[in-house]
Amino acid sequence: MASSSDLENIPSVDLMTELLRRMKCSTKPDKRLILVGPPGSGKGTQSPIIKDEYCLCHLATGDMLRAAAAAKTPLGLIAKEVMAKGELVSDELVVGIIDDAIKKPSCQKGFILDGFPRTVVQAEMLDQMLEKQGTKVDKVLNFEIDDSILEERITGRWIHPSSGRSYHTKFAPPKVPGVDDVTGEPLIQRKDDTAAVLKSRLEAFHKQTAPVIDYYSKKGVVAQLHAEKAPTEVTVEVQKVLSS
């Protein structure tokens, strides 16, 4: 817990902003959401919007694994090789990461799982984890989109590594090419964002992740989105689904 001397050093405007955010959040219903869709379907684009609206934590296993790889942790070094090939890392490894993460205070109002679960085994393990906490998944947002649209989205994507902000040369260009709008720092392209690796990622999606949608359909919690639409139109669909 922060001591009063820690708080003294935080500017008043920041404290007030945080206080107002917490007051707004206290009126929001708890939500436990899963975002499923192939690479480039827009999960990472919509997540920050949902996170801010409902005061949830955003847990993206891909981002967590890339951070572990950058930090050269033993887990990160294993994951790095697997991700570069567009294959899935082991179920035990990602489930362990999520189990730790959903217990954090920032997930108190619920969570957005982006890129997890990606196999039926992961889904079953998640459900067991939540059952122990007396909770369950409220909604699974299925980002439906034709594979043919994805190559252009994936190969045109640029990322600001430290914040995770994502741009696209055509669909969401930064103000200055190659530079983050907020910090002015350089943008990078992900190693797996090539047409060749996309093929393996799509194969993994159809073979291993599509069954996760069937798994949750049987529980009656899946909502379909038209992910081929423009980002603002997808946001409207998401808002409709979450307010119903």
Which amino acids are annotated catalytic? 43, 118, 157, 190, 201
Task: Provide, rounded to whole angstroms, the least separation between the CB of residue 104 and ligand AP5.
Answer: 18
Query: Rounded CA gap, 111 and 58, in Å?
Result: 6
Q: Which stretch binds ligand AP5 (CB under 6 A): 7-15, 41-49, 104-112, 217-225?
A: 41-49
- Which is closer to ligand AP5, CB of 65 or CB of 112? 65
- Is 213 a binder of ligand AP5 (CB under 6 A)? no
Which of 73, 70, 114 has the alpha carbon at shortest distance from 93?
Answer: 73
3-state secondary structure of 14: helix
- Is 31 a binder of ligand AP5 (CB under 6 A)? no
Query: Rounded CA gap, 216 and 220, in Å?
Result: 7
What string marks each residue from 109 to 138 as x (binds ligand AP5 by CB under 6 A) or -? Answer: ------xx-x---x----------------
Task: Provide, rounded to whole angstroms, the least separation between the CB of residue 229 and ligand AP5.
Answer: 6
Residues 6 or more apart from 230 whose CB is under 8 A from it? none
Which of 115, 97, 104, 125 has the alpha carbon at shortest distance from 60?
Answer: 115
Q: Which stretch binds ligand AP5 (CB under 6 A): 6-14, 79-87, 101-109, 127-135?
A: 79-87
- CA dihedral sign of residues 136, 237, 46, 191: positive
Phi-psi region of 177 (alpha: psi -120 to 50; beta: other; left: phi over 0): beta
Number of residues that bind ligand AP5 (CB under 6 A): 34
Residues forming contacts to ligand AP5 in the complex (CB under 6 A) are 37, 39-45, 60-62, 65, 82-83, 86-89, 94, 115-116, 118, 122, 153, 157, 166, 168, 171-172, 201, 229-231, 234
